[in-house]
Structure 1
């Protein structure tokens, strides 16, 4: 079911407000990602394979220290392979032309205040 025009405008305004106010959240959730760090992935996979080998060797020789060391190496390799590098993420830029109604820049607190006031009026039964 498609959204009405008013609902679409409200959704667009909420999205612009999110991009303006919570850039860190937007970057973490939907930010653009750069190139993957292939060097980290390859090194992590190699460490994981070496760790698995050491773990198997520790179990085969019944040396607890070698098995634990192998597990730690394997775990570190997997973490290195799956953790994104800090240099690969591009900063999120605000949406160009993010303006409120009538072409004026909207204050995000004003928008949220309006929504809160409308909610309070509805709760009190004084809706217009």
Structure 2
């Protein structure tokens, strides 16, 4: 449900006053600190992945067990990085976990809209 112009202005005023009164609380509520944490984790996971590749290559020359450890480091880093990156939304805000079945994609809704339009035309006698 969209906000009216007056409600948006009031909300912006409330946000500005909260930011002026208590910047730490406003930062925490905006989620920007959480975004930074997840981005930092994703960056560390990337570095760990590179370390895992180095251990994997070194293990080929030293001992096969070292290569397995390198692969496990790479796997763990990839999982941590993907998990951390998914927690940050496209707009820089923390993404909310989906509950229930996933929503339909826009192409599906476009398809349904076209079907409904064709049905209305048939009912009105416009499409033979």
The normalised TM-score by structure 2 is 0.40
The normalised TM-score by structure 1 is 0.40
User: Which structure has greater helix proportion?
Assistant: 2
